[in-house]
Amino acid sequence: MTKLIATHSGTFHADDVFGVAVLATVFPDHVIIRTRSAEEIARADFAVDVGGIWDPAAGRFDHHQRGFEGARMRADGDPGCAVAERYASAGLVWREYGGACVQQLAHSLGHPVATEVAARIAADADASLVRYLDLVDNGAAEVAPGIFGLSSQVALLNSTWLEEQALDKDAVARLQLERFHEAMAIVDRTLRRFVLRAIGQVLAAETVRASRRLLHGRVLLLANGGMPWTRVVLPEMPDVLLVIYPETGRTQFQIRTVPAAEGTFASRMDLPREWAGLRDEELASMTGVPDAVFCHSNLFIAGARTLEGALRMADLAFQAHLADRER
């Protein structure tokens, strides 16, 4: 049956756009109305960010009413401690339909996933995307700097008084609905890319675990340069200091340092300081590796044209690292 999804008219924000977009994905046969009419809202199967009710079983996802206490619990860094972050409509809808949305998107992308995998991806999306939409909407956090956060990108699509001044009420409503659908398209694209990348990480995990370990287990050799590996290597492979893989589209092998932790620029070990910024003949002369290609000035990545050259550079990097530690 066709689902009627209601949200408020007028200016839209990322939380209502996101919530409606998720429901539209889960229920492809739908109609969207933007209204503040209590009668129209009551007729709807779902009401997002309007209506003054939070009742998932009834399809009601508002957070503005007095007494609303819906919140996700987030660890604050101290063991056993957590802080409450109030939900906005984005989080309320995602809490109920995030897993189903992930499964629907995964199927449409040609990579179906099991329910438990979809649940893990949905939890990751909540932590890294949805909660920030809620925080911004509730005034608990600033939008990203400039206009580059998703909340700001959605807000930019609202019609302006310059566009509305020559229009009657019905024409303004049609323009706002058109812009609302444009904003939904941004959310849909963001979610699709997030889900696709997350599926890639899930599918890559076993391949990464089964990859060859060289140079006494300190180097992980990957067969595919585009394969995500940090989520496996960081928690499961404490002895791996460098990762080598063929660069996609080029006859070259990259040597990457392993981050010390997720989200940091610090590495378990850096490449030798003497290599910083060198290329081609200069780097070949410095290392004695004829096919050495480059070393980044920040010492986190280098390359050679052959696997043998990359392994030789890795071995030299280990020797320099040990020498530094002994000083």
The pLDDT tens digits of the residues spanning 10-53 come to 999 999 999 999 999 999 999 999 999 999 999 999 999 999 99
What pLDDT is recorded for position 141? 79
Residues 201 and 220 in one domain: no
Neighbours of 73 (CB within 10 A): 9
Residue that wins the pLDDT comparison between 145 and 212: 212
Provide mean pLDDT across the span 227-241: 94
Domain boundary among 205, 230, 251: 205
Domain boundary among 176, 205, 234: 205
Torsion angle in degrees (nearest 10) through CA of 34, 38, 42, 47:
40
What pLDDT is recorded for position 144? 64
Residues 66 and 163 in one domain: yes
Residues 195 and 266 in one domain: no
Residues 42 and 148 in one domain: yes
Cα–Cα dist 126/267, whole Å: 28
Domain boundary among 166, 187, 205: 205
pTM of the model: 0.80
Residues 165 and 20 in one domain: yes
- pLDDT grade, residue 78 (50/70/90)? low
Provide mean pLDDT across the span 2-14: 96
Residues 200 and 102 in one domain: yes
Residues 251 and 311 in one domain: yes
Per-residue DSSP letter, 60: E
pLDDT in tens, 173-187: 999 999 999 999 999
Domain containing residue 287: 211-326
Residues 99 and 56 in one domain: yes
213's enclosing H/E stretch is strand 212-214
Specify whether the CB–CB gap between 178 and 32 falls below 8 A.
no
Residues 45 and 189 in one domain: yes
Q: How many domains does the chain have?
A: 2
Residues 124 and 147 in one domain: yes
Residues 234 and 196 in one domain: no
Question: Residue 249 pLDDT more than 80?
Answer: no
Residues 178 and 50 in one domain: yes
